[in-house]
Amino acid sequence: MVVLLSFLISFVLVMLRLPDWAMPYQPDWVALVLIYWVLAMPQRMGPGIAWVTGLLVDVMHANLLGIHALGMALLAYLTFRVHLRMRVFPWWQQAVAVFVLLMIYRASTGWIRGLVTPLQLDYSYWLPCIVGALIWPFLFAVLRDAGRFARHL
């Protein structure tokens, strides 16, 4: 239940309308939650669930179906490949690894989007990766504590 609830909250956070000045800073909430759950439950969370999650993100953004799905599947696969190492990293090294994973995710979705329509990539395209890495330690703590709380119920 905690996994579904955390993904639901991440979808709501993605749909929130921020002021225009804050829009470039909005992190990829769904991608961050996916990274956490792949790290926490690598046997249950994989590219298949990530693909479905990405399709939901595509529908929410009214994008061409498959852009975020492919990016999320790639993100889940790469996170699974490094999950044993990432789990023992201190919080700041995990944040750096999350930054790299988010950069790969943004690059893959940007590349696919660029194949369909011309895309202007400037520094603001990469700001969500920086913000995501900065909030990672807090999100990690919240989701970890929510999982622990749910296990004790």
Domain spans, the chain: 25-151
The C-alpha angle 66, 43, 103, rounded to 5 degrees, equals: 45
What six digits make up the tokens of 33? 């939650």
Q: What is the pTM of this model?
A: 0.93
pLDDT at 123: 82
Residue 55 has pLDDT above 80, yes or no: yes
Q: Letter for the amino acid at 69?
A: A
| Closest residue by Cα to residue 50 from 30, 29, 64 | 30
Reported as a single tens digit per residue, the pLDDT across 18-50 is 898 998 899 999 999 999 999 999 999 989 999
